[in-house]
Structure formats: structure tokens, C-alpha cells
Amino acid sequence: MLLLLTRPRYDTPTHYLFYWAGLFIDEAKKNGVKIIDLDKGKAKKKKLHSYLAKQPIDTVILNGHGNQKAVAGEDNEIILSTGDGTELLKNKTIFVRACDAGAILGKEIMQQGAKGFIGYVQPFIFPSDKDSFNKPLEDELAAPVLECSNQVGTSLIKGKSVSEAHKDSLDKYTKAIDKYSSSEATNSFLLPILLWNMTSQVCYQP
């Protein structure tokens, strides 16, 4: 398998996603998956489209800001949008961790012949502790949410189908929701966030 990953980093949300998506690199190495890591300044439209056109990529994981019709890379540059690049995703499996991109962009990606798509039809949200900014992977507020989302990529890297990866992620959300529903839970405010992202996550397949 050849995996392409984008990891822009230029504000707080992308700073966190940069590190959490970085865990996919370790997972890829463990599973013998080759990876193209478009991090920071490499997360640009020209580079993304060039790799998609020229390399035999199987799986694509995009992290960044987005809207219903587009997803952005470094410095909020649009790197994939409806009518611009979706045809390059034919026969590929896609996970887009960006706000709203599952609503319209994801459907067009499938119409262009993708094997499967997982994304969000509403904003993807997570809390963060400003004191943990320099250690995003240790942020106890962000971790429960991002662990559930990360499960999608982890399962795809392990060779699971989009439907299996989607289910694995939803199962992780369910366990987290059960945990924070308990009377002893201290961070019960995470519940609506976990529920929001869980119900916003969609899976499309042919």
C-alpha cells in the first residue's frame, strides 16, 4: 500500500492535527505501508495533484480546514475542491479530516470513481488546553476526540475497508461516550463534542 498524507501546520487546529496525523507515520511503518508525507509547506495544491497523478497511491488522508466543497493545505490554500482534482482520486480510498467536506466534496469524489470516502458533513471540532499547546499528544481535553477520529486512519493503514474503518471509529466514539457519561467522569463536557463528531462522520462507498 502507498499512503499519501497531508499535515499543514499554521494555526492551533492544524498544529494539533499535524501531530495527531503524525501517528499515522508510525502506524504505516509498523504495517509495512509506504508513505508520502506532505507536511507543512509541502501541503500545497501543486504537490498534491502531482503525486496523485504520477504515483500509484492507494489511500489518501487529508488534514486541514475545509468547507462543503473544498479542503485546504498550508496557509489555508485550497488543495482539493469540487471540479478541481477530484478526478485524481479514482480507485483510491479517502479520509478527509476537515470541516464539512463530506457534504458535497465527498460525494463528488465518489462520483469520480473513488473506492470509498470518510469525512464529516458538519464542522469537525475538538477542545484543547492552551497549556498543552507544545505537547498536543498529551492534551487530555483533545485526546479523547482525536483518538476516535484517528481510528479511521489507523484502520485504513491496517488494510481495512472504508466501512470497517468507519465502524471502528464509531465503536471508539461509543466507548468514549460511555466513559464520559459515567457519574465519576470529570470531563463530562466532552460528551456533546464526541456525539457531534460521531454523528457528523459519514462513510461513502460504491
The yes-or-no verdict on residue 134 having pLDDT over 80 is yes
Which pLDDT does position 187 carry in this prediction? 77
Q: Please state, rounded to an integer, the average pLDDT across all residues of the chain.
A: 96
Is 8:64 a contact under the CB 8 Å cutoff? yes
CA distance 81 to 69: 6
Residue range 37-95, pLDDT digits in tens: 999 999 999 999 999 999 999 999 999 999 999 999 999 999 999 999 999 999 999 99
CA distances, 155 to each of 31, 159, 167, 170, 189 (Å)? 11, 7, 10, 12, 27
Task: Report the Cα 127 to chain-centroid distance in Å.
Answer: 16
The yes-or-no verdict on residue 183 having pLDDT over 80 is no
Which pLDDT does position 173 carry in this prediction? 98
β-pairing, 66-67 vs 116-120, is unpaired
Which pLDDT does position 110 carry in this prediction? 98
Which pLDDT does position 181 carry in this prediction? 87
CA distance 37 to 62: 10
Which pLDDT does position 204 carry in this prediction? 98
Query: Which set of grid coordinates corresponds to residue 163?
Result: 466501512
Q: Would the pTM count as exceeding 0.75?
A: yes
- Cα end-to-end distance, the chain, whole Å: 20
The percent of residues in the chain predicted with pLDDT above 70, rounded, is 99
The yes-or-no verdict on residue 185 having pLDDT over 90 is no
Query: Which set of grid coordinates corresponds to residue 76?
Result: 489555508
Q: Rg of the chain's alpha carbons, rounded to an integer?
A: 16
Residue range 160-175, pLDDT digits in tens: 999 999 999 999 999 9
Q: DSSP per residue over the chain, as a string?
A: -EEEEEE--SSHHHHHHHHHHHHHHHHHHHTT-EEEEEEGGG--HHHHHHHHHHS---EEEEES-EETTEEE-GGG-EEEETTBBGGGGTT-EEEEESTTTTTTHHHHHHHTT-SEEEEESS-------GGGTT-GGG-TTTHHHHHHHHHHHHHHHTT--HHHHHHHHHHHHHHHHHHHHSTT-S-TTHHHHHHHHHHHEEEE--
Domains and CATH numbers, the chain: 2-201 (3.40.50.1460)
The yes-or-no verdict on residue 186 having pLDDT over 80 is no
**Phi/psi at 51 (5° precision):** -65, -40
Per the model's pLDDT, the better-predicted residue between 169 and 188 turns out to be 169
Length, in residues, of the chain = 206
Q: CB count, 10 Å around CB of 179?
A: 16
